[in-house]
Amino acid sequence: MEYRSLGRTGMQVSPLCLGAMMFGAWGEPDHDTSITIIHRALDAGINFIDTADMYSQGESEIIVGKALAGGRRDDVILATKVHAQMGVPVDAPAGTTGDPNRRGNSRRWIVREVEESLRRLGTDWIDLYQVHRPDPATDIEETLSALTDLQRQGKIRAFGCSTYPAHELVEAHWVAERRGLGRFTTEQPPYSMLVRGIEADVLPVAERYGMGVIPWSPLAAGWLSGGYRRGQEAPRSNRRDRIPARYDLSIPANQRKLDAADALGKLADEAGISLVHMAIAFVLQHPAVTAPIIGPRTMAHLESQLGAADVTLSTDILDRIDEIVPPGTTVNPADRGYQPVALTDPFRRRRRTS
The dihedral over CA atoms of 259, 260, 264, 266, expressed in degrees to the nearest 10, equals 20
Q: Return the H-helix or E-strand segment holding 99.
A: none
- Of 35, 80, 30, the closest CA to residue 58 belongs to 80
Give the E-state strand segments of 243-326 in sequence order: 293-294
CA–CA gap between residue 26 and residue 22 (Å, rounded): 6
Amino acid at 308: A
- Which of the following is catalytic: 55, 191, 228, 247? 55
228 is catalytic: no
- CB atoms < 10 A from the CB of 96, how many? 10
- Nearest-10 Cα torsion for 197, 223, 302, 336: 30
Query: 306: how many CB neighbours lie within 10 A of its CB?
Result: 18
Residues 346, 351, 353: CA angle, nearest 5 degrees: 120
DSSP strand pairing (17-19 vs 48-50): parallel
* E-assigned strand segments in 91-200: 126-131, 156-162, 186-188
Chain centroid to CA 117: 18
* Catalytic annotation, residues: 55
